[in-house]
Chain A
Amino acid sequence: MSRREALRAEAVRQLRICDACRYCEGYCAVFPALERRSPEIEGSVDYLANLCHDCRACYYACMYAPPHEFAVNIPRILQDARLAGYDEFVSRRAPHRPLLRGQWVVPAAALGLISLLVATVSAASVGLGAFWRHGHGAASPYQSLPYPALLVLAGIPTLWGVAILARANVRYWRATGGLRGASVRPAALYRALRDAAVLANLRGGGGECFYPDERPSPLRRRLHAAVAYGFVLCVASTVSAAVEQDLLGVQPPYGLFSVPVLLGLVGGVALVVGCAGLIWLKLRSDPAPESVAMAVRDYGLLFWLGLLSASGLAVLGLRWSTVAGAAFLVHLAVVLTAFVLAPYTKFAHVGYRVLALVQDAAERAGRRSAPAPAPGGGRPA
């Protein structure tokens, strides 16, 4: 049995206990979905694993959690199952695996190489003035790298990252059977996106997630929102800069109260705070419901996002200084590396999670008119 098969078998063993118990059905989307998939748990592990938001409410509520001999630990086994899926969907070839293992060597080497590339292109096109200068006013990025070079340098990794992630999401969709005959109506799609936007499944049936320990707390949900929306604001900042330049004809640098700078500033601060907060929480989190392998990925993603936003804020802060050019180029190298590596990091969870929520919403809508349970069915007391 391969590791992946062994993991799936263990997930199925635990989920069968859940299916026979059902006490957790009020917590999140996973348990009602498990009930719907009751006859076909084996084929539903990837779906259920990605539907799980790791709120850990079920672990603390479980009378079968270790040291009980049933050893039910759903957050942990589903983390392991998710992780195995991340690896399988993004790359089936061995050479990429070291990237996936969350080791530091490959990312550091990638950052080094890309920095060298950026510096070379920059120096070749602008000269040494790309890195430091003695001029007045805010620096323009094009003083360090001409626009066409920037476009090519940034475009390739971006397209690469997006393409690999898209392929991985298609593979997830196929592996889990997609909509399996259900149709996505606007109401269901809205529900899925709303649940994703507000992290409804981190609220454990109206409570809060049990993180970092057995006391429910909204902290993780809020910090995750800071990271997610911080990232969205940073992307929006870049997009708005493109709009200013290419559609409105306003060239950088943009003023402190311009749309790109404000979006980037708020987003960057949210990202730094969110990443630092989540790392701080994770260091304190109860190890029992946590997969070590997944935690390594979590730290990896948080570190990269933190670096991304910190270097972006540095560009803003140093734009009047002599090292404005160097700061910009460092940020660019970090961004490019992040794009190249994104599919191999936990960043990939975003797509699977949203797709799983869409599948769940479609299935739920399809089951509205399901027949009433049998007299033996329903809830044991």
Chain B
Amino acid sequence: MGAWLRSGRSRGPTPAEGRGPVRAAVDLLDAGPFDVVVLGGGNAALVAALTAREAGRRVLLLERAPEAQRGGNSRHTRNIRCVHDGNDGRSVGGYGFDELWSDLCGVGDGPADEKLAALTIRASAELPAWMSARGVRWQAALAGTLQLDRTNRFFLGGGKALVNTYYRRAAALGVHVAYGVTAEDLVVEGDRCTAVVASCAGRTFEVAAKAVVCAAGGFEANLEWLRAYWGDAVDSFVVRGPRDNDGRVLRALYRAGARRVGREEGFHAVAVDARSPRFDGGIATRIDAIPFGIVVNRDAQRFYDEGEDIWPKRYAQWGRNIARQPGQIAYCLWDSKAAGRFLPPMFPPLQAGSVDELALQLGLDPRALGATVDSYNSRAGDPATFRPGEPDGCATRGLVPPKSNWALPLDQPPFFAVPLRPGITFTYLGVAVDERGRVVGADGTPFVNVTAAGEIMSGNILSSGYLAGFGMTIGTVWGRIAGRTAADVAA
């Protein structure tokens, strides 16, 4: 081992190769051997690469996107959830293990592997200092905002600023980063991976490695894979992250015999504007108006309690709700009373002087929509009890389904509406890992030198449900663990 070899499948230089970035990537792939090869270019991959490099290893990171779009789903993130004792000078009050543990138990089916979930929470305490030491900057807590300021720390400028910081750090430390390179497969002999098969500009390479970190995310952009579970409904799904997340590395791990974790068909989704681009629309396309209006399906019928719970739990509910409706489409309606109470949508909402007119604009049956709105209005809550800042119990009376909070009637024109689609954030299906981040085979024994971090293994911690900022916690904790293990193995 040790020497790299160019695969026999290589087709020689292509016209595209003359350009700078491709040339640079190809040169890197030819510049082995590397101690640690990291597959992926988001948060978990970067943390693993930095960790292995700081341990003195020669590290190559393969990012599938070009440099301008590097960072995967992490570009769209904004904060991280860590336990702390409240003495960090940022927030009032601490956020301890027990509280985060109970928050985790409150979402979906709760922690998947309790041992690994507990390990993740304990390790989260070290993250803010670790990140700050690598140049990450934090947004000052804003006065009077959500309780999220206590539980979550916000990256100054968001996730892309975070990954930029890590890429700068990686460059300064001498991590080799190859952009525009797709990790296709792993060459596995027994319980050991000897090389990574990667493609770039139409050529295929085998990159020898002493250890491999798989941090290439889920398969939420692989519509054909999702179709296996969701049928033609996938044609209506919007994918909030980049189209590169097709689960190629996840598949390669399954081919190599890795054990599956997480719900196979499971994904986290929110309600996004139906006018969003198919891929990579990120945060700006999500619709936040639901608690202040009503949501109907294409038959102009309500189907779920719009006032069920406060953000952020509610936030995660609506993607699935809409995915289960006919045509996977819904429409959120509100009136002029509600304007300004929620984050404004990116695309201007449709607007009409009457519900009838709005129905025509939306292509809904005006009589059916009129009947739904009339029925809702006649059973709406008492406006005197309306409190926009908290669950107010201003609930509908005798309506099915109910609206349990903020149920003001829709009676003040102009009326507004946006069409909604399920917007998939990430998938839950992943590979099992052990406490050192090593990928576990179907028979329960771990691969010696294959580790995983981030979304590709988050199903070990959380197999359904969603806790704001915890995806970045998993990515950072396990990026560090996987990077350390890879560095140890490659020593």
Contact = CB atoms under 8 A, between A and B. Distances in A.
Interface of A: 16-17, 19-27, 38-39, 57-58, 60-70, 204-207, 214-215, 371-381
Contact of B144 (A19, A24, A372, A375): A372
Contact of A376 (B157, B289, B346): B289
B159 A63 contact: yes
A377 B299 CA distance: 29
> Could you say which interface size class chain B belongs to?
35 or more
A63 B164 contact: no
B145 interface: yes
A378 B283 CA distance: 13
B340 A39 contact: yes
B78 A70 contact: no
Contacts of A379: 78-79, 145-146, 148, 154
Interface string B315-358: 10000000000000000000000011111111010000000000
Nearest to A210: B164
Contacts of A69: 277, 280
B282 interface: yes
A110 B34 CA distance: 64
Contacts of A372: 144, 389
B284 A26 contact: no
14 contacts: A21-B283, A38-B340, A58-B157, A63-B280, A63-B282, A69-B277, A70-B284, A214-B164, A375-B291, A375-B310, A376-B343, A377-B341, A378-B145, A380-B288
Interface stretch (B68-76, B227-235, B244-252): B68-76
B156 interface: yes
Instruction: Identify which of B152, B342, B348 gathers the most chain A CB atoms within 10 Å of its CB.
Output: B342
Contact of A381 (B79, B156, B348): B79
Contacts, number: 145
B156 A27 contact: yes
Instruction: Identify which of B146, B290, B291, B292 gathers the most chain A CB atoms within 10 Å of its CB.
Output: B146
A176 B93 CA distance: 42
Contact of B342 (A204, A205, A215, A374): A374
B465 to A, nearest CB: 14
Contacts of A19: 343-344, 346
A225 B224 CA distance: 57
Given A61-B160, A376-B341, A205 B291 contact: no
Contacts of B284: 17, 20-21, 64, 70
Contacts of A62: 160
B312 interface: yes
B343 A57 contact: no
Given A24-B157, A379-B79, 9 more contacts: A19-B344, A23-B78, A60-B161, A63-B159, A70-B284, A205-B139, A373-B145, A373-B389, A376-B289
Contacts of A374: 291-292, 341-342, 388-389
Could you tell me the dominant secondary structure of chain A's interface residues? loop
B158 interface: yes
Instruction: Identify which of A19, A27, A375 gathers the most chain B CB atoms within 10 Å of its CB.
Output: A375
B236 to A, nearest CB: 20
Contact of B343 (A20, A61, A68): A20
Given A63-B282, A68-B280, A378 B146 contact: yes
B160 A380 contact: no
B160 A63 contact: yes
Interface of B: 68-69, 71, 75-79, 137, 139-140, 142, 144-146, 148, 152, 154, 156-161, 164, 168, 277, 280, 282-286, 288-292, 310-312, 315, 339-346, 348, 388-391, 468-469
Contacts of B283: 20-21, 23, 380
A261 to B, nearest CB: 44
Given A38-B340, A39-B339, A64 B282 contact: yes
Given A38-B340, A69-B277, A378-B311, A25 B390 contact: no
Contacts of A17: 284, 346
Contacts of A25: 139, 142
Contacts of B75: 63
A379 B147 CA distance: 11
A25 B280 CA distance: 21
Contact of B76 (A20, A63, A214): A63
Contacts of A375: 291, 310-311, 388-391
Nearest to B79: A381
Contacts of B342: 374, 376-377
A23 B162 CA distance: 12
A206 B154 CA distance: 14
A39 B71 CA distance: 33
Nearest to B137: A207
Given A378-B146, A379-B146, A26 B289 contact: no
Contacts of B148: 378-379, 381
A23 to B, nearest CB: 3
Contacts of B343: 19-20, 22, 376-377, 380
A376 B344 CA distance: 10
Contacts of A206: 137, 140, 156
A376 B291 contact: yes
Contacts of B78: 23, 379-381
Contacts of B139: 25-26, 205
A353 B237 CA distance: 45
Contact of B286 (A70, A205, A371, A380): A380
Nearest to A57: B157
A61 B156 CA distance: 9
Contacts of B390: 375
Contacts of A70: 284
A234 B292 CA distance: 59
Contacts of B292: 374, 376
B128 to A, nearest CB: 15
B68 A205 contact: no
Contacts of A39: 339-340, 344
Given A16-B346, A205-B139, A372-B389, A26 B291 contact: no
A312 B221 CA distance: 64
Instruction: Identify which of A39, A65, A376, A377 gathers the most chain B CB atoms within 10 Å of its CB.
Output: A376
Pairs of residues from A and B, 6 with the lowest C-beta to C-beta distance, nearest first: A23-B158, A61-B157, A26-B139, A381-B468, A61-B161, A20-B346
Contacts of B286: 380
